[in-house]
Amino acid sequence: MHVVKYMFQQHGDARGMLVALEERRDIPFEIKRVYYLYDTGQGVRRGFHAHKSLEQILVCIHGSCKILLDNGHEKKVAALEKPYEGLYIANDIWREMYDFSPDAVLLVLASDFYREEDYIRDYDEFLKSINHK
Ligand code: TYD
Protein backbone atom coordinates (compact mmCIF):
# COMPACT_ATOMS: atom_id res chain seq x y z
CA MET A 1 0.00 0.00 0.00
CA HIS A 2 1.48 3.32 -1.05
CA VAL A 3 1.23 5.08 2.31
CA VAL A 4 4.26 6.44 4.14
CA LYS A 5 4.59 7.74 7.69
CA TYR A 6 6.97 10.68 7.86
CA MET A 7 8.70 11.98 10.97
CA PHE A 8 9.43 15.61 10.19
CA GLN A 9 12.51 17.28 11.55
CA GLN A 10 11.77 19.18 14.74
CA HIS A 11 13.61 22.39 15.41
CA GLY A 12 13.35 22.67 19.14
CA ASP A 13 15.05 24.58 21.86
CA ALA A 14 14.19 25.89 25.31
CA ARG A 15 11.63 28.29 23.77
CA GLY A 16 9.54 25.60 22.11
CA MET A 17 9.19 23.60 18.92
CA LEU A 18 8.90 24.30 15.20
CA VAL A 19 8.42 22.11 12.12
CA ALA A 20 9.05 23.48 8.61
CA LEU A 21 7.76 21.72 5.50
CA GLU A 22 9.28 22.55 2.13
CA GLU A 23 7.96 21.45 -1.24
CA ARG A 24 10.04 18.71 -2.90
CA ARG A 25 12.27 18.50 0.17
CA ASP A 26 10.05 17.39 3.05
CA ILE A 27 6.97 16.95 0.86
CA PRO A 28 7.37 14.73 -2.24
CA PHE A 29 5.13 16.84 -4.51
CA GLU A 30 4.35 20.44 -5.38
CA ILE A 31 1.89 21.79 -2.83
CA LYS A 32 -1.03 23.31 -4.72
CA ARG A 33 -3.53 23.41 -1.86
CA VAL A 34 -3.66 23.43 1.92
CA TYR A 35 -6.81 22.79 3.92
CA TYR A 36 -7.63 21.71 7.45
CA LEU A 37 -10.43 19.99 9.31
CA TYR A 38 -11.33 21.11 12.83
CA ASP A 39 -14.31 21.05 15.21
CA THR A 40 -15.10 17.55 13.97
CA GLY A 41 -17.98 16.22 16.05
CA GLN A 42 -17.51 13.35 18.47
CA GLY A 43 -17.99 9.98 16.80
CA VAL A 44 -18.01 11.51 13.32
CA ARG A 45 -16.35 9.64 10.47
CA ARG A 46 -15.29 11.62 7.41
CA GLY A 47 -13.57 11.06 4.11
CA PHE A 48 -15.16 7.98 2.47
CA HIS A 49 -13.42 8.59 -0.83
CA ALA A 50 -10.35 7.86 -2.93
CA HIS A 51 -8.61 10.13 -5.40
CA LYS A 52 -7.86 9.23 -9.00
CA SER A 53 -4.61 11.20 -9.07
CA LEU A 54 -4.32 13.46 -6.02
CA GLU A 55 -1.52 12.87 -3.51
CA GLN A 56 -1.74 14.21 0.02
CA ILE A 57 0.13 14.50 3.28
CA LEU A 58 -1.96 14.65 6.44
CA VAL A 59 -0.62 16.19 9.64
CA CYS A 60 -2.65 16.30 12.83
CA ILE A 61 -1.07 19.54 14.04
CA HIS A 62 -3.17 19.53 17.21
CA GLY A 63 -4.95 16.67 18.96
CA SER A 64 -5.23 13.25 17.36
CA CYS A 65 -7.21 11.17 14.89
CA LYS A 66 -7.10 7.85 13.07
CA ILE A 67 -7.16 7.10 9.36
CA LEU A 68 -8.42 3.88 7.81
CA LEU A 69 -6.55 3.21 4.57
CA ASP A 70 -7.69 0.70 1.97
CA ASN A 71 -6.07 -0.02 -1.41
CA GLY A 72 -8.76 -2.51 -2.41
CA HIS A 73 -6.59 -5.48 -1.37
CA GLU A 74 -5.58 -4.65 2.19
CA LYS A 75 -6.67 -2.26 4.91
CA LYS A 76 -4.67 -0.61 7.63
CA VAL A 77 -5.12 2.01 10.29
CA ALA A 78 -2.73 4.88 10.92
CA ALA A 79 -2.88 7.06 14.01
CA LEU A 80 -1.77 10.68 13.87
CA GLU A 81 -0.96 11.92 17.35
CA LYS A 82 2.01 14.26 17.06
CA PRO A 83 2.46 17.55 15.18
CA TYR A 84 5.71 16.25 13.66
CA GLU A 85 4.14 13.13 12.10
CA GLY A 86 2.95 13.19 8.50
CA LEU A 87 1.01 10.57 6.60
CA TYR A 88 1.59 10.42 2.85
CA ILE A 89 -1.37 8.92 0.97
CA ALA A 90 -0.95 8.17 -2.73
CA ASN A 91 -3.78 8.20 -5.24
CA ASP A 92 -6.15 5.18 -5.50
CA ILE A 93 -6.43 4.72 -1.73
CA TRP A 94 -9.79 4.78 0.01
CA ARG A 95 -9.62 6.72 3.30
CA GLU A 96 -11.86 7.27 6.30
CA MET A 97 -10.90 9.59 9.15
CA TYR A 98 -12.32 8.98 12.63
CA ASP A 99 -11.65 9.11 16.39
CA PHE A 100 -10.95 12.84 16.22
CA SER A 101 -10.12 14.27 19.63
CA PRO A 102 -12.27 17.35 20.35
CA ASP A 103 -9.21 19.61 19.86
CA ALA A 104 -8.02 17.92 16.63
CA VAL A 105 -6.85 20.04 13.72
CA LEU A 106 -6.01 17.90 10.70
CA LEU A 107 -3.89 19.78 8.18
CA VAL A 108 -3.79 18.46 4.62
CA LEU A 109 -1.18 19.33 2.00
CA ALA A 110 -2.42 18.39 -1.45
CA SER A 111 -0.74 18.04 -4.84
CA ASP A 112 -3.57 19.70 -6.75
CA PHE A 113 -6.45 22.14 -6.53
CA TYR A 114 -9.89 20.94 -5.48
CA ARG A 115 -11.46 19.06 -8.39
CA GLU A 116 -14.59 17.04 -7.74
CA GLU A 117 -13.82 14.98 -10.91
CA ASP A 118 -10.79 13.53 -9.11
CA TYR A 119 -12.92 11.99 -6.33
CA ILE A 120 -14.28 8.43 -6.23
CA ARG A 121 -16.98 8.58 -3.56
CA ASP A 122 -18.59 5.20 -4.14
CA TYR A 123 -16.74 2.22 -2.61
CA ASP A 124 -17.89 -0.29 -5.25
CA GLU A 125 -16.81 2.09 -7.98
CA PHE A 126 -13.44 2.38 -6.21
CA LEU A 127 -12.99 -1.43 -6.19
CA LYS A 128 -13.92 -1.59 -9.88
CA SER A 129 -11.44 1.15 -10.77
CA ILE A 130 -8.64 -0.70 -8.90
CA ASN A 131 -9.42 -4.02 -10.58
CA HIS A 132 -9.40 -2.44 -14.04
CA LYS A 133 -5.77 -1.38 -13.58
P1 TYD B 1 -15.66 16.77 1.94
O2 TYD B 1 -14.92 16.26 0.77
O3 TYD B 1 -17.04 16.30 2.16
O4 TYD B 1 -14.80 16.53 3.26
P5 TYD B 1 -14.41 15.12 3.97
O6 TYD B 1 -14.04 14.18 2.87
O7 TYD B 1 -13.26 15.45 4.85
O8 TYD B 1 -15.57 14.66 4.75
O9 TYD B 1 -15.64 18.37 1.85
C10 TYD B 1 -16.49 19.18 2.63
C11 TYD B 1 -16.89 20.41 1.80
O12 TYD B 1 -15.77 21.25 1.55
C13 TYD B 1 -17.48 20.06 0.47
O14 TYD B 1 -18.60 20.92 0.26
C15 TYD B 1 -16.40 20.39 -0.53
C16 TYD B 1 -15.62 21.48 0.16
N17 TYD B 1 -14.18 21.49 -0.16
C18 TYD B 1 -13.65 22.54 -0.88
O19 TYD B 1 -14.37 23.48 -1.30
N20 TYD B 1 -12.31 22.55 -1.14
C21 TYD B 1 -11.50 21.57 -0.70
O22 TYD B 1 -10.27 21.63 -0.94
C23 TYD B 1 -12.06 20.47 0.04
C24 TYD B 1 -11.20 19.34 0.52
C25 TYD B 1 -13.41 20.47 0.29
Kindly list the structural domains of the chain, giving each domain's residue range(s) and its CATH number in brackets, ordered by start: 3-131 (2.60.120.10)
Q: What residues act catalytically?
A: 49
Say what the pLDDT of residue 121 is: 98
For a substitution probing ligand 1, which of 51, 114, 119, 121 has the most ligand atoms within 8 Å of its CB? 114
Instruction: Give the number of the atom of ligand 1 that is nearest the alpha carbon of residue 110.
Output: 22
Say what the pLDDT of residue 8 is: 98
Of 108, 62, 84, nearest to 18 by C-alpha is 84
Distance 132 CA to ligand 1 centre (A): 27
Distance 8 CA to ligand 1 centre (A): 26
Pocket of ligand 1 (CB under 6 A): 33, 35, 37, 46-47, 49, 114
Nearest-CA residue for ligand 1 atom 2 is 47
Strand partners, 7: 85
pTM value is 0.95
> How do the pLDDT tens digits run along the chain, 133 residues long?
999 999 999 999 999 999 999 999 999 999 999 999 999 999 999 999 999 999 999 999 999 999 999 999 999 999 999 999 999 999 999 999 999 999 999 999 999 999 999 999 999 999 999 998 7
**Strand locations in the chain (E):** 3-7, 33-38, 46-51, 56-62, 65-70, 75-80, 85-89, 94-98, 105-110, 119-120
For a substitution probing ligand 1, which of 44, 46, 96, 106 has the most ligand atoms within 8 Å of its CB? 46
